[in-house]
Amino acid sequence: MEENCIFCKIVNKEIPSTIVYEDEYVCAFKDLNPIAPVHVLVIPKIHIQDLEHITQDNIEYVKHIHSAFKKVSQIMGVNETGYRVICNCGEDGGQEVKHLHYHLIGGKKLGNKIAHE
């Protein structure tokens, strides 16, 4: 639990969110400002700042995040139509919330571009 981290507060149910899946390691909830019909954030239940802060000590959480994608895709009904997973890291990556999170986006045909200026 990191002081003033909004996603830690979501994990601890201190602020409301629409959780679609959770287990011991992972929490998945709807993005507040969805860019597609399906837009879910999948996060570890411990505070990891970003991809640069993954270590042998917390890699178990990352493994569970990767296992959770197909569960979340089924729950959200996009497992057959497909989806995109995006993880922004640091300043140039455009990461706004400094708690590791993966955007799972789908429910429509996404554009070819994976990056915008």
Nearer to ligand AMP, 33 or 56 (CB): 33
Listed ranges 30-38, 46-54, 56-64, 107-115: which one lies at the site for Zn ion (CB under 5 A): 46-54
Does 17 bind ligand AMP (CB under 6 A)? Our answer is yes
Q: Which does 45 bind (CB under 5 to 8 A by kind): ligand AMP, Zn ion, none?
A: none
Nearer to Zn ion, 7 or 25 (CB): 7
Q: Which does 32 bind (CB under 5 to 8 A by kind): Zn ion, ligand AMP, none?
A: ligand AMP
Q: How far is the CB of 43 from ligand AMP (least distance, A)?
A: 10
Q: Which long-range contacts (CB under 8 A, 24 or more apart) does 41-44 make?
A: 41/7, 41/101, 41/102, 41/103, 41/104, 42/68, 42/69, 42/72, 42/101, 42/102, 42/104, 43/7, 43/10, 43/11, 43/99, 43/100, 43/101, 43/102, 44/100
Does 44 bind ligand AMP (CB under 6 A)? Our answer is no
What is the set of active-site residues?
101
